[in-house]
Structure 1
Amino acid sequence: MAVNAVLKQQMADLGLTQEELAARMNAALLDITGRPGDVSDRTVRNLISGATRRPIGRTRKALEAVFRCSLKDLGFACPSTTAPPEGPVERRQFITAGTAIALTSAAPAFSVPRRVGASDIERLHRRFADVVANDHRHGGQLAIEHKAAALADEALSLQASGHASQRVRKQVYASAAAFRSSAMWAAIDGRRFEDATRHMRVAQQLAEMAGDPYIKFRIWSHAGTMYRHMGRPADAAAANDVARKLNITRQDPMFASLGLARQGAIHGAAGDGTAARRAFDQSQDAMLRAYPQAQRPVWMNAFYDQAELDSLALSAFLALGDFERAEAHGHRCLAALRPHMHRSKAIATTRVARAQLEQGDVETAIASAMSVPADASIRHPRVVGMLHTFGRRLETIAPGAALAHTWNQYARDTWRQTA
């Protein structure tokens, strides 16, 4: 097998990894056929290695659409055929009569490209805002993850659909990275860590191509949260440090505040109370220094505020066993949460219930747990897991009590809806 050096060079010219080329080919197939593609990085490896010498069908269409040239120009042998050569007139008649769909599908790869401009970027920004809003309402859902990943591929398909200035091209890459980071977050929230890791790797590559420090911050900060939830505090701290060392944390104290608050949560998970308290004090100071009207990305404005800082502190002190301090931060969080933060409210309420239970206030704890909206308590993976833990701790703290029976009956009635 001879390595396809031409294809390797074409990929290098566009700065594409094998995984990124697979994503672009799938986006092209979705655009051409209306159905998602199933190209994998293994498919691309076979194309590069020479294991696949004559790509046909959907693979051929996708390659020609992405690179805007023929298979021959990509170093492949053209698919063999026993048909005699056709003249231009006969070929046009054949296509018109028998393969109109194929002509329509292939046309975008060879037609005069359009100009990708500001209106396309604005459309991507609007769709990203919708993804962020859905995440705050529902959180962790597989549908959100898949939608965000599909929108990332759609953004990348713009790169193959027309000409763009370097500035616009970087904005397209930044939008694709933002969508992928949302897919990553939905997977983290849904406890699908393998999928989250896959989204993270693609998002990091796209962010580098975009050169956008804001989306780099989001991705690395999410990575720190992911590793914290996976029980890997050392990796979590290392990833979060990448975000904290970006220049934007020096330019805007609000980003510094978020980085420090997430670092505090990581210290809490690692059992370092002194470091956690110091991080949250520094985070609070940075937030007070931040200019409220500064221009920030939509994802930052949509979620980070005093309520989120207190939510992270609630998580940290709950992990440290400082239940009184955790409950105090929890009440501050719930009092300050904006109305659209449904997912955050359910998580904070569940954690407050746990903090109350650990302090022996069983009746209040059960009332808090039962106030979690039923939708979240049966559909949000993180909330479901925390409520199951709450039930187990209740059995340990107040075994056989009437209040424990009340909770168990409520839980059975609620979770029966998932059956």
Structure 2
Amino acid sequence: MDTTRNATLETWMGEHGYSSNSLAEAVNKALERFTGRMGGLDGSSVRGWKAGRVRWPKAATRKALEDVTGLPATALGFVPRGRTSPTPAPPQEDPDMKRRTLVGGIAAAAAAAASPGTAAPRRIGMSDVERLQCRFAEIIASDHRHGGQLSIEQQAAALADEALNLQNAGSATQRVRSSLYACAASFRSSAMWAAIDGRRYNDAKVHMREAQALAEMSGDQAIKFRIWSHTGTMYRHMGCPADALAANDVARNLHITRRDPMFASLGLARQGAILGVAQDRTGTRRAFDHAQDAMDRANPDAYRPVWMIAFYDQAELDSLALSAYLSLGAYQTAEFHAHRCLSALRPHMCRSKAIATTRLAHAQLAQGADDAATFTAMSVPQDAATQHPRVTRMLQEFGAALRATAQGSSTVQTWTEHTGEAWRATTA
């Protein structure tokens, strides 16, 4: 194997004062920002890059390195697989442009390849897929910070279109084409989720149909699971438990749930949340018992897609249990799961924290703890309370329930003043 030293990277590190250890630490932190988990690089990893032993790091690592340096990987001396020598970065990978747009580079590449001329057709490869996968990681990270925003939905839908445009931008192997369909399905499923989270259900259904078709063309079991599982969640939020169970069962019957207990656990936990809406106490308890058992059996080091790694863990299982037991009116059990969820949530799960905190306030209020419940509800960050549709609605319902149970009390006055100040701050 060619192990020509990466002099470009060495020069950049020297100019910017990075040692192998300090660059590894910076890249690990960047990985944590968009995956929720600290990277596992160390000084020897960076020395491997400099020595040329690793000529093209993994997609997530490259994205983190590009975030740290502000340069595309090719400009740092890395060579995409299949190339024998470093190639200058094309115009669309100018670092400033990459920071200004999620899709500009990909769109420019597709347009250049599709335009008439004398140049040979472009060859679409796995490096194109990996760039799309990095964009997908950005969408996932944005969703966990903000959630439900129309801008996230629009960005994800645009990237789905760009992935499809690449199908016609040049020649590719069947593996690459399947991967491009999987990328398009992944983006479309994120657009679907953003619409669900923002309570834009008609838009969510449009994204759902397109995502399902793309997933079938890709043959990717993981993305099929995500889409059908999201469909079940959509119908649960719409108050249609029968449709929700039917959709979630499609996800749970995929082969991937037998290969990986973590997927089985997520399917069972979402089934438990649906059964809570359906007022099936026994089924709810059984589903969460099985979900916990499956999670405990799962191999923590198994390969899983970034969307799964970024959100499904013990905290999310408890969040779904909190939702289910709140629906059942089992408020003490709901509060137990709320505290467990909030104590285990990873820092990047801002949207999830706001939702769990609001549900905890509901559970406390239903048990007669008006003051504690109000204090909990007031701890929800203002941006989530006023800008996230699901959180806003739950807090409005909390206020109505508080006024119904403690009308005329100082607690109601405190809550009214708090919400008035929050509203004025957002409209000022």
Q: Same fold (TM over 0.5)?
A: yes
Q: Which residue of 2 aligns with 1:229?
A: 237
C-alpha distance in 1, partners of 2:255/2:404? Answer: 48
C-alpha distance in 1, partners of 2:140/2:114? Answer: 34
Identity, in percent, stands at 66
Secondary structure of residue in 2 paired with 1:328: helix
Q: Which residue of 2 aligns with 1:6?
A: none
C-alpha distance in 1, partners of 2:156/2:411? Answer: 43
C-alpha distance in 2, partners of 1:362/1:107? Answer: 65
Q: CA deviation at 1:154?
A: 0.4
Task: Describe the superposition over 1:236-276 as per-residue Cα deviations: whole angstroms up to 9, x where unpaired.
Answer: 00000000000010110000000000000000011111110
CA contact (8 A) 1:108 1:161 kept: no
* Aligned residue among 401, 410, 414 for 1:406: 414
Which runs of structure 2 are paired with 1:1-400 in the superposition (5 Å)? 107-108=115-116, 112-400=120-408
Give the AA of the match of 1:187.
A
C-alpha distance in 2, partners of 1:107/1:332? Answer: 56
Q: CA deviation at 1:112?
A: 3.0
CA contact (8 A) 2:341 2:356 kept: yes
C-alpha distance in 2, partners of 1:156/1:364? Answer: 51
Q: CA deviation at 1:388?
A: 0.1
CA contact (8 A) 2:113 2:170 kept: no
Question: Structure 1's 110 and 396: CA in aligned 2 closer, same or farther, altered over 3 A?
Answer: farther
Task: Describe the superposition over 1:321-372 as per-residue Cα deviations: whole angstroms up to 9, x where unpaired.
Answer: 0000000000000000000000000000000011000000111101100000
CA contact (8 A) 2:345 2:353 kept: yes
Question: Structure 1's 171 and 391: CA in aligned 2 closer, same or farther, altered over 3 A?
Answer: same
C-alpha distance in 1, partners of 2:291/2:113? Answer: 53
CA contact (8 A) 1:131 1:144 kept: yes
Question: Structure 1's 110 and 182: CA in aligned 2 closer, same or farther, altered over 3 A?
Answer: farther
C-alpha distance in 2, partners of 1:392/1:141? Answer: 25
CA contact (8 A) 2:124 2:172 kept: yes
Q: CA deviation at 1:418?
A: 3.8
Q: CA deviation at 1:111?
A: 5.3
C-alpha distance in 2, partners of 1:229/1:343? Answer: 16
Secondary structure of residue in 2 paired with 1:312: helix
Give the AA of the match of 1:178.
S
Give the AA of the match of 1:414.
A
Number of positions where the alignment pairs a residue of Structure 1 with one of Structure 2: 319
**TM-score, length-normalised on structure 2?**
0.73
CA RMSD of aligned residues (A): 1.7
Question: Structure 1's 106 and 177: CA in aligned 2 closer, same or farther, altered over 3 A?
Answer: closer
C-alpha distance in 2, partners of 1:110/1:209? Answer: 32
Question: Structure 1's 209 and 105: CA in aligned 2 closer, same or farther, altered over 3 A?
Answer: closer
Unaligned runs of 5+ in 2: 1-109
**TM-score, length-normalised on structure 1?**
0.74
C-alpha distance in 2, partners of 1:185/1:153? Answer: 17
Secondary structure of residue in 1 paired with 2:199: coil
Task: Describe the superposition over 1:272-304 as per-residue Cα deviations: whole angstroms up to 9, x where unpaired.
Answer: 111101100000000000000000000000000
C-alpha distance in 2, partners of 1:341/1:320? Answer: 25
Question: Structure 1's 357 and 117: CA in aligned 2 closer, same or farther, altered over 3 A?
Answer: same
C-alpha distance in 1, partners of 2:320/2:115? Answer: 51
Secondary structure of residue in 1 paired with 2:320: helix
C-alpha distance in 1, partners of 2:425/2:247? Answer: 39
Question: Structure 1's 403 and 250: CA in aligned 2 closer, same or farther, altered over 3 A?
Answer: same
C-alpha distance in 2, partners of 1:256/1:105? Answer: 42
Question: Structure 1's 110 and 183: CA in aligned 2 closer, same or farther, altered over 3 A?
Answer: farther
